[in-house]
Amino acid sequence: MRVGLFGGSFNPIHFGHLRSAEEQREALGLDLVYFVPASSPPHKTEGGLAPAEHRLQMVRLATKGNRHFMVSDVEIKRAGQSYTIDTVRFFLATLRQPSALFLLMGADQFNELDTWKNADELVAACNLAVHTRLSEGDSASAPRFSLAALKRFGYIKCDDHYVHPSEHTLSFVDTTILPISATEIRRKLQRGQSINYLLPGDVVDYIQRHQLY
């Protein structure tokens, strides 16, 4: 069983998140992708963050039609600051073996992985899949991930991926980054503008019914 963990504030979840998760699932041959909404993301300020139970419910609504998509409330139940290492430990302890765990993250997150809690334990405990922007011609000269981060954790290149001394892998997955952001969705709501077609209709209804943002 190949299992992906996709964490985020999902404030709210939108088609950019969903499409990215779907493409990563296909590229990595994952059987399941767990969406893991953070209770209180350590790298973000609390301003404008909808209550965790609402964000969780919106993720449930958005993913309900996809049998490969699951939702975990482990970080929300734990409350307080959400640390990825605690979530990975939880999944390793509870998944039925043999399972390969893939932590899905953006290139920006990978580049600052060094600042994450127990980063060395994290990279030794699971596979990493870093989603990068699908090549766009003009981005050819810009490095999309930091070579320093690769070196820092001792990754060695092997075919089309990298291998950690623990034998866990690091893969870069090109995904379509739809020009949709949760920040922009919240901004539109504050201005009284439409958010239709940026996120699933059930989530739009939920936001309106509960007067979020």
Q: Establish if 8 lies at the interface with ligand ATP (CB under 6 A).
A: yes
Q: How far apart are CA 179 and CA 162, in angstroms?
A: 29
Segment interacting with ligand ATP (CB under 6 A) among 11-19, 82-90, 148-156, 189-197: 11-19
Q: Binding of ligand ATP at residue 183 (CB under 6 A)?
A: yes
Should residue 55 be labelled a site residue for ligand ATP when binding is judged by CB under 6 A? no
Q: Which stretch binds ligand ATP (CB under 6 A): 82-90, 92-100, 176-184, 199-207?
A: 176-184
Alpha helices in the chain (DSSP H): 15-28, 52-63, 74-78, 84-94, 107-111, 119-125, 147-152, 182-190, 201-209
The interface region with ligand ATP, picked from 28-36, 138-146, 172-180, 194-202 by CB under 6 A, is 172-180
Q: Closest CB to ligand ATP belongs to which residue?
A: 16
Buried b (16+ CB within 10 A) or exposed e, 43-81: eeeeeebbebebbbbbbbbbbeeeeebbbbebbbebeee
Q: How far is the CB of 16 from ligand ATP (least distance, A)?
A: 2
Does position 182 interact with ligand ATP (CB under 6 A)? The reply is: yes
Which listed residue (10, 35, 153, 172) binds ligand ATP by CB under 6 A? Answer: 10
The one among 17, 25, 60, 168 contacting ligand ATP by CB under 6 A: 17
**CA 210 to CA 58: how far, in whole Å?**
11
Interaction between residue 100 and ligand ATP (CB under 6 A): no
**CA dist., res. 130 & res. 146, Å (int):** 11
Indicate whether 27 belongs to the interface with ligand ATP (CB under 6 A): no
The contacts of residue 102 (CB under 8 Å, 6+ apart) are 2, 3, 4, 5, 28, 30, 126, 127, 128, 129
Size of site (CB under 6 A) for ligand ATP: 16
CA nearest neighbour of 153 among 108, 123, 116: 123
Is residue 9 at the binding interface for ligand ATP, with CB under 6 A as the rule?
A: yes
Q: Which residues of the chain form contacts with ligand ATP (CB under 6 A)?
A: 8-11, 16-17, 20, 105-106, 109, 177-178, 180-183
